[in-house]
Structure 1
Amino acid sequence: MSRHLEPGERIVRADALHGGITAEMRKLTIGTRDGGTRALVLRTFVAPYYVKHAEDWLNREVGALTQLADTEVPAPELVTVDPTAEHCEYPSLLMTHLTGRTVLDDEGLETRTHLLARQLLAIHALRPAERPRKYVTLTTADTVVTPKCADAAAWAAAIDVIRRPAPPYEGRFLHRDFQPGNVLFDVPPLGPTRITGVVDWAATSWGPADLDVAHCSTTLALLHGPRWGLRFPEVYEAVGGALAAATSERQYWLVRDALACSEEVREVAQPWREAGRTELTTPVVEERLDAYVTALMTASD
């Protein structure tokens, strides 16, 4: 890291940042030549599964951060990257540190939901000179993990939904993991709440706006209750976003993302508990997921 600092600078402190799933994050405090400090963030892939995919993910994140540098989307600036662990023990990316923090509490959610929708709309409005690769969905009817508490009929119907071919769509620039855990907020004691940053661009893709909206909807449903997942598409449209015209097409993307989450409930819930939402045990999150999937199927009747 030191080779990419300014002359006279040095790393004086490293602090772990919590909340991530795929990578370890550290805030590096840099002592500057004039006696002050500045901060950088080191993103490191350590677990064997993630190391295997790190080169592709880091190169995609580099491409995204490079494209975002000249836009109004508040993303980190790239400093350097080591996608194959040539210089570091593990594949790593160094970037600038953004102010703000993730906010996962219920308080102030109405305001944050509108801010999330407007920020996502701004991301979807980007038209990069070079498109990222087409979106990928890995969940199939055979890989869905139906919770023990689930409404069996609703889940069977939901699984049938994703057996259908994907609906046609107008392509958009997608974050592909846009949700409260990847958005930083400034929440001052007095004054308006605002978004200060959007992080984790490793899955940037080209695809339907519905897919990003569906992913944020699922996360809101699990964090705050199913009604917030159902509400987010409405808020996205209210701020100017365009989703699939047909109800069945919207349902396809919402259901597909919700079922995808069924495969990783435990991994998703753990960082939320570490961030202070200790009540969100795996069984609680599974119950919310079941209620959300059931609501999605009921809403389409």
Structure 2
Amino acid sequence: MTHHDEEAAVRPPALAWVRRHLGADERIVRAEALLGGSTADMRRLTIGTPDGGTRDLVLRTFVDTEHAEDWLNREAGALTVLTGTGVPAPGLVAVDPTAAHCAYPSLLMTHLAGRAVLDDEGVEARVPLLARQLVAIHALRPAERPREYVALTTADTVVTPKGADAAAWTAAIGVIRQPAPPYEGRFLHRDFHPGNVLFDVPPARPTAARITGVVDWAATSWGPADLDVAHCSTHLALLHGPAWGLRFAEAYEEAGGVLAAAASERLYWRVRDGLACSEEVRSVSQPWREAGRTELTTRAVEGRLDAYVTALMDALG
């Protein structure tokens, strides 16, 4: 077995576990570390097939095991639900949520073609695609609902960036002190953003991009469509500028999605997600820099977050 680098090395117990889920005469011929994951280590495993060809699997490993069992059970359940729905998600091969077989809790799934695209170029073409894909996810009605969403951020845990618009942030924090608005539940990805969507982008035609997959279903929940829309909006605002964060909700409705009717209710969900991001700017922005967006320093992202929260309060507050 050939390793791309030291980080790609797979521990022997995991190798043995993976091999038990391969076909007859199949073998692992290569492991490659995948960048971009913030909660788990990701490795692409190239599998040699008896006919001389290859196929790829992805091994997702949680070294931090605090929430691993819950996340992996949720992801395995979501991938099972998504089979045959038309939503382009990985196929579940096997899961070891308690590390009964592997050194750490792990999940093995099929590999999807495509890549996450974080560049500014072509964003105007990708935003409608993201919106249509999210509408399709929210249209799913599984026989067994996933668990209700959890929102951990509170008014007292928000981290106001240095130099932020104090009045806007005080008003925004006041918004989430209020009870959550009533909502009609939907099947949520709960971490839907450009980093978890794979695209095929023709090199000479970035506007001809198409979605090939949606990954990272570990936070799948049941809750308001506004919450998923808010999360993607925040990420778009931080990656491409506040205007794109504001634009995404419009694109979602243009694609047939339904959001809360009252402006105050929409504001609640969008502000809640923006303020939640204030607590994890470093962890959110680091994978972006590793992927080539080196200008998105923690300070730069904090500045965009401030501008976005201020724009939300101006537009909807």
* TMscore range, shorter length: over 0.9
Matches within 5 A, 1:191-206: 192-206=208-222
Q: Report what 2:52 is aligned to.
A: 35
> AA paired with 2:62?
F
Aligned counterparts of 1:291 and 1:189: Cα–Cα separation in 2:
32
2:316 pairs with 1:300: yes
Q: 2:113 aligns with which of 60, 76, 99?
A: 99
> AA paired with 1:131?
R
Q: Report what 2:125 is aligned to.
A: 111
Q: 1:46 aligns with which of 55, 63, 68?
A: 63
Runs of 4+ in 1 over 2 A off after TM superposition: 189-192
2:23 pairs with 1:23: no
Q: Report what 1:7 is aligned to.
A: 24
> AA paired with 1:34?
D
Q: Report what 1:189 is aligned to.
A: 203
Q: Alignment partner of 2:190: what SS? A: coil
Q: Report what 2:290 is aligned to.
A: 274
Q: Report what 1:248 is aligned to.
A: 264
> AA paired with 2:295?
E
| 1:55 Cα deviation from its structure 2 partner | 0.3
Q: Alignment partner of 1:72: what SS? A: coil
Gap runs ≥5 in structure 2: 1-17
Matches within 5 A, 1:221-236: 221-236=237-252
| 1:70 Cα deviation from its structure 2 partner | 1.9
Q: What whole-Å deviation, never above 9, does each CA across 1:221-277 have from its counterpart, x for those lacking one?
A: 000000000110011111111100000000000000000000000000000000000
Question: Alignment identity in percent?
Answer: 80
Q: Alignment partner of 1:59: what SS? A: helix
| 1:35 Cα deviation from its structure 2 partner | 1.0
| 1:190 Cα deviation from its structure 2 partner | 5.7
> AA paired with 2:121?
E
2:175 pairs with 1:158: no
Q: Report what 2:193 is aligned to.
A: 179
Aligned counterparts of 1:9 and 1:80: Cα–Cα separation in 2:
16
Q: Report what 1:81 is aligned to.
A: 95
Q: Report what 1:132 is aligned to.
A: 146
The TM-score normalised by the length of structure 2 is 0.93
> AA paired with 1:92?
S
Aligned counterparts of 1:149 and 1:90: Cα–Cα separation in 2:
42
Aligned counterparts of 1:293 and 1:80: Cα–Cα separation in 2:
41
Q: Alignment partner of 2:20: what SS? A: helix
Q: Report what 1:62 is aligned to.
A: 76
Q: What whole-Å deviation, never above 9, does each CA across 1:116-135 have from its counterpart, x for those lacking one?
A: 00000000000000000111
| 1:149 Cα deviation from its structure 2 partner | 2.0
Q: Alignment partner of 1:40: what SS? A: strand
> AA paired with 2:310?
T
Gap runs ≥5 in structure 1: none
Cα RMSD (Å): 0.8
Q: What whole-Å deviation, never above 9, does each CA across 1:7-51 have from its counterpart, x for those lacking one?
A: 10111100000011000000000011111110000000013xxx1
Q: Alignment partner of 1:62: what SS? A: helix
Aligned counterparts of 1:300 and 1:247: Cα–Cα separation in 2:
6
Aligned counterparts of 2:78 and 2:95: Cα–Cα separation in 1:
13
Q: What whole-Å deviation, never above 9, does each CA across 1:71-91 have from its counterpart, x for those lacking one?
A: 000000000011011111110
Aligned counterparts of 1:155 and 1:262: Cα–Cα separation in 2:
11
Aligned counterparts of 1:281 and 1:243: Cα–Cα separation in 2:
32
Q: Alignment partner of 1:4: what SS? A: coil
| 1:300 Cα deviation from its structure 2 partner | 2.4
